[in-house]
Amino acid sequence: MFDWRRLIPAIFGTACAASALAPSALRADHRCDPVTDPGWRTVVAHELISQGDSAPYRDGANWFVDRTTTVLPFCHYFDDIGNYSLRSYSLSPRTSTERIAICQGTASGESVAVPPYAGPCPPK
């Protein structure tokens, strides 16, 4: 028989750990309200909401895409035994755009893929 009181904090803990391992480009700096009750701790998390790439474009001999990423910052509160507090909350979504190289020009005038991009160069 499942004990939901232990399963739900475990799920939240796993989600928080996974978001803590996310690439730093996805992390938005934010502060959570301090915990004043003894035995409680704050877990800052960032949930990936969406990520999308623009159409490829050329800049000189190189090709790029603009990657737009939206994250939702969270402030989770847990006690010593893992109980999740209803005082936990999220902040407004944050969107960032990053220029990603997908093809790099060579001295011979051709272009080669920039890992991890494995498509054709120039992109079609």
101 in a domain, yes or no?
yes
Distance between CA atoms of residues 17 and 10, nearest Å:
10
123 in a domain, yes or no?
no
Which pLDDT tens digit goes with each residue over 61-97?
999 999 999 999 999 999 999 899 988 999 999 999 9
Q: Which helix (H) or strand (E) holds 97?
A: strand 94-105
Distance between CA atoms of residues 110 and 118, nearest Å:
15
Please give the residue range of the domain that contains residue 49. Answer: 4-26+38-113
32 in a domain, yes or no?
no
Per the structure, how many domains does the chain have? Answer: 1
51 in a domain, yes or no?
yes
45 in a domain, yes or no?
yes
31 in a domain, yes or no?
no
Helix (H, G, I), strand (E, B) or coil at 8: helix
The pLDDT value recorded for residue 63 is 95
**What pTM did the predictor assign?**
0.64
84 in a domain, yes or no?
yes
62 in a domain, yes or no?
yes
